[in-house]
Amino acid sequence: MPSAIEQIVDSYVRLKNRRGLDELMMHRQRLAVDLKSRSGYDFSLPIGQIDEEIAIIEVGLSRLKAENSSPV
């Protein structure tokens, strides 16, 4: 069963919502930067999860780009 982020990304790709994917990516990147700058607690688990989500979003952006560049 796909994760929530995979379902969200798939929906954005299906709807050709590049802006939504870009905003999702920027949000995850801000979260990663914020967590990496903190100290006093081990944030490696949430950082790892956010990095995985960023990778899923990147795949979605690539799929969207490929669909937009392929002839119809």
47 is a domain residue: yes
**Can you give the pLDDT at residue 21?**
97
Q: For residue 22, what are its two tokens?
A: 């870009």
Total structural domains within the chain: 1
Q: Tokens 């989500």, residue?
A: 53
Q: For residue 61, what are its two tokens?
A: 């952006």
Q: CA 54: distance to chain centroid?
A: 4
59 is a domain residue: yes
72 is a domain residue: no
40 is a domain residue: yes
- pLDDT for 15-36, tens place per residue? 999 999 999 999 999 999 999 9
Three-class secondary structure of residue 55 per DSSP: helix
29 is a domain residue: yes
Mean pLDDT of the chain: 93
Q: Which domain holds residue 62?
A: 4-67
Asked if 16 and 9 touch (Cβ cutoff 8 Å), the reply is no
